[in-house]
Structure 1
Amino acid sequence: MPVSYVDVNFPNPGRDGDTRFIIYGYRPSISLGIVGSIFFGAYGIASLCALIRPRRAGAILLLIGVLFEVVGYICRCLSSQVDPYFLAYFVCQYFFIVVAPVFFAAAIYLDLSRLIAGITGNNKPPVSPRLILAIFVTFDVITTIVQIAGAASIGSAESNNKNPAPATDILIVGLAVQTAAFLVFLVIFLVVIARLQLRMRSLPAGAYAALADAHWQFALLFCSAVLVQLRTAFRLAESSQGVGGYLSSHTVYFGCLEFLPIVLAVFGLLMLEVAFKRSWGSFTAVGTPGQSLTHPQCRRHVEASKLGGNEPRLDST
């Protein structure tokens, strides 16, 4: 689509707040807008259910994120059916859809920190859970603010017939830093899993088996993180092409590389919340979901080994 895309089936109303052309590069799909609103609305209900005893910060973050997604997709519906040229709809949908994954990423950081604490107990963890939260949440907040400022400046420049290149550069910088920071997080995630796996394999076989839940929880959490990174990488590639670029002017890429990865990532995070909720009440004061080194079943195997039991260790096989 050319930069100055105008829908022949929807002439520009020319009202206050309308741009000269459709900034999306296409008329937003009403079907995708409705599907997005329904999916994330359902996820919102699931998040509310997860908040009913015990109340977990992860479920709260998911609830905020899916509510942002719902508002964003409603704005895309308004763009599709009411006025695709209206700048406020574009900025609003961009703000809410771009900010929502920040809450999902924060939930990922939080869940990883809790799983680390649950596995290590009072022992020194391979990476400080609090440090992970502090550093990466800070990066996400700052880079998201930069992205929103850049997107708003692009819309303003286009509506006033000015060069959007400087604003596009601001947007790209924010996305590039966010993509790089999350990539570092994924590397740290893999290092943490490898080190914890070594620590867990040094346990008696029975204690290792008692930690079975931790394996699939880590795997599911990592898959959700990769999906969030895929979406962020798409946004970076899209923005690097500028307004009217190939990726930004074809709605299929938005659906496959923005909507779908986030839908799947949030589903995975909700599955974790369900698992955490079902396991509530069986943990120690650490308060960490999943089996831990301080879990009663695991502790019995460890204590039996210390008392001279002949239970084999996995690292000796």
Structure 2
Amino acid sequence: MAEKESYYDYEPSVAAAGIFVAIFAILGVMHFFQTFRTRTWFCIPFGLGALLEVIGYLCRGLGNSKPDVLILYIIQTLFILLAPILFAASVYMFLARIMRATNATHHSIIRINWVTKIFVGGDVLCFVIQGAGGGILAGADTQTSLDLGKGVILTGLCLQVVIFAFFMVVAAIWQKQMRGSEEDEMTSFNWLIYLQMLYVVSVLITVRNLFRVIEYAMGPDAYLLMNEWPIYVFDAFLMAIVLAICTRWYVADAMRKAQNEGKDNEGNNVEMLTQSDAGAC
């Protein structure tokens, strides 16, 4: 990519970047602390994603005084783009753990051992595709390579939207089968509250992904890329809400109780939500 006086079509806001650096740093520390306190290892991607957001918005803020520094532009572009994919990984794994905690895995239209594998596998694919697209953009020195990089990123974003839509269908069907079932009557774990939180988080991430799809589809001269406020409203703000909601997912006591109920009622070892399960992942 040829050197430019500025890689931005506007003057990056130091104040906005600083605010979200602080917000994501606080939320990231909260997630890492809770993850290690409760040994909820499947939530590690939340903390890692928050770290990417912190670095991304830090570099964006530095872009105010150093708009011609390519590495800062590349880092903020890639890290802010890729962080929500890590959030999605934990969201996918959470559904399987809700199913296992309620001893109702048979209500899933996908075999429980494949739920996490399919969705996290798709998530990894999205990460690779979007990362590759970002790499192409970083080294682009012709319009053809620029278009290729944007096309690759757009493909990854569209795939992410499709995967999330299918994920929500799987969750909704499981909920319908679970409501009023024997397992629903037998467990005191309030699974519906956590499933509803999962829906809200999924919708927020999907809205963010749709924003990114529209952003890249419209092109570099469109309004969304020519102005800075959309990225804070439709990306940073929504992802901060996602991380805030998910701080409520560390429910070790409730999961232990659900596990004991599963043993008493069915004679099976119900998987704890707060443990990483190699079979589920």
TM exceeds 0.5? yes
Match of 1:243 in 2: 220
Take 2:28 and 2:169, find their aligned partners in 1: how far apart are those partners? Answer: 30
Give the C-alpha shift of residue 80 in structure 1. Answer: 1.9
Task: Give runs of aligned pairs for residues 4-43 of structure 1, distance below 5 A.
Answer: 19-43=3-27
Per-residue deviation, residues 116-162 of structure 1 (Å, max 9, x unmatched): 111125x62423333121112122222222222223323433xx354
Take 2:36 and 2:160, find their aligned partners in 1: how far apart are those partners? Answer: 33
Take 2:248 and 2:207, find their aligned partners in 1: how far apart are those partners? Answer: 20
Contact 2:85 2:126 in 1 (8 A): no
Give the C-alpha shift of residue 20 in structure 1. Answer: 2.2
Match of 1:61 in 2: 45
> Which range moved further: 124-133 or 104-113?
124-133
Contact 2:74 2:138 in 1 (8 A): yes
Task: Show structure 2 runs of 5+ residues with no match.
Answer: 261-268, 275-281
Whether 1:128 aligns to 2:105 is no
Aligned with 1:85: secondary structure? coil
Contact 1:25 1:244 in 2 (8 A): no
Give the C-alpha shift of residue 30 in structure 1. Answer: 1.1
Letter in 1 for 2:240: V
Take 2:151 and 2:100, find their aligned partners in 1: how far apart are those partners? Answer: 40
Give the C-alpha shift of residue 268 in structure 1. Answer: 1.1
Q: Provide closer, same or farther for how the CA distance between residues 166 and 189 of structure 1 changes in structure 2, counting only shifts above 3 A.
A: same
Whether 1:149 aligns to 2:124 is no
Match of 2:277 in 1: none
Q: Provide closer, same or farther for how the CA distance between residues 143 and 281 of structure 1 changes in structure 2, counting only shifts above 3 A.
A: closer
Task: Give runs of aligned pairs for residues 1-317 of structure 1, distance below 5 A.
Answer: 19-81=3-65, 83-120=66-103, 124-126=106-108, 127-157=110-140, 160=141, 162-163=143-144, 164-199=146-181, 203=185, 207=186, 210-211=188-189, 213-273=190-250, 276-279=251-254, 281-282=256-257, 283-284=259-260, 285-289=269-273
Q: Provide closer, same or farther for how the CA distance between residues 202 and 94 of structure 1 changes in structure 2, counting only shifts above 3 A.
A: closer
Contact 1:65 1:100 in 2 (8 A): yes
Q: Provide closer, same or farther for how the CA distance between residues 200 and 102 of structure 1 changes in structure 2, counting only shifts above 3 A.
A: farther
Q: C-alpha root-mean-square deviation of aligned residues, in Å?
A: 2.3
Take 2:98 and 2:31, find their aligned partners in 1: how far apart are those partners? Answer: 20
Give the C-alpha shift of residue 42 in structure 1. Answer: 0.5
Contact 1:61 1:104 in 2 (8 A): yes
Take 1:62 and 1:175, find their aligned partners in 2: how far apart are those partners? Answer: 19
Contact 1:28 1:80 in 2 (8 A): yes
Contact 1:119 1:196 in 2 (8 A): no
Q: Provide closer, same or farther for how the CA distance between residues 278 and 118 of structure 1 changes in structure 2, counting only shifts above 3 A.
A: closer
Take 1:103 and 1:150, find their aligned partners in 2: how far apart are those partners? Answer: 17
Per-residue deviation, residues 88-120 of structure 1 (Å, max 9, x unmatched): 112111222222112211111111110011112
Task: Show structure 1 runs of 5+ residues with no match.
Answer: 1-16, 291-317
- Report which of the two has the higher share of helix: 2
Take 2:142 and 2:169, find their aligned partners in 1: how far apart are those partners? Answer: 43
Letter in 2 for 1:246: Y
Structure number with greater Rg is 1
Contact 1:48 1:63 in 2 (8 A): yes
Contact 1:117 1:125 in 2 (8 A): no
Take 2:64 and 2:253, find their aligned partners in 1: how far apart are those partners? Answer: 41
Give the C-alpha shift of residue 201 in structure 1. Answer: 8.0
Contact 2:103 2:183 in 1 (8 A): no
Letter in 2 for 1:236: V
> Which range moved further: 59-68 or 126-135?
126-135
Aligned with 2:225: secondary structure? coil
Take 1:94 and 1:168, find their aligned partners in 2: how far apart are those partners? Answer: 12
Matched length: 263
Match of 1:315 in 2: none
Take 2:121 and 2:135, find their aligned partners in 1: how far apart are those partners? Answer: 22
Q: Provide closer, same or farther for how the CA distance between residues 200 and 267 of structure 1 changes in structure 2, counting only shifts above 3 A.
A: farther
TM-score computed with the length of structure 2 as normaliser: 0.85
> Which range moved further: 172-181 or 51-60?
51-60
The answer to which structure, 1 or 2, has the higher relative contact order (CA under 8 A, 6+ apart) is 2
> Which range moved further: 44-53 or 87-96?
44-53
Take 1:245 and 1:278, find their aligned partners in 2: how far apart are those partners? Answer: 50
Contact 2:178 2:184 in 1 (8 A): no
Give the C-alpha shift of residue 235 in structure 1. Answer: 0.7
